[in-house]
Amino acid sequence: MADAAEELRRLYLQREQVCLAGRVADEAVVRGDASARIEAERLFAELHRIDLAINRLEAGNDTKH
């Protein structure tokens, strides 16, 4: 159980970092930085992957698909 709790802590920290980076990328897109759009899309996909991993752990199903 401690391993799952540590993994959740790590994932939530990673999620927070990706969200912050995503906000920075979104601001750059608004300013007209075309390359930031690609980065924002990559970060959104990463956020989705992290959320799925969090959901699996919180549901007690830590199997990888």
Percent of the chain whose predicted confidence (pLDDT) is above 90: 85
Determine the pLDDT at residue 17.
Answer: 98
Q: Which DSSP state fits 12? A: H
Determine the pLDDT at residue 64.
Answer: 54
Determine the pLDDT at residue 61.
Answer: 64
Determine the pLDDT at residue 60.
Answer: 87
- Phi/psi of residue 32, nearest 5 degrees: 100, 10
**Residue 8 clears pLDDT 90, i.e. is over it:** yes
37 or 2: which leads in pLDDT: 37
DSSP letter string over 15-59? HHHHHHHHHHHHHHHHTT-HHHHHHHHHHHHHHHHHHHHHHHHHT
Q: What is the pTM of this model?
A: 0.82
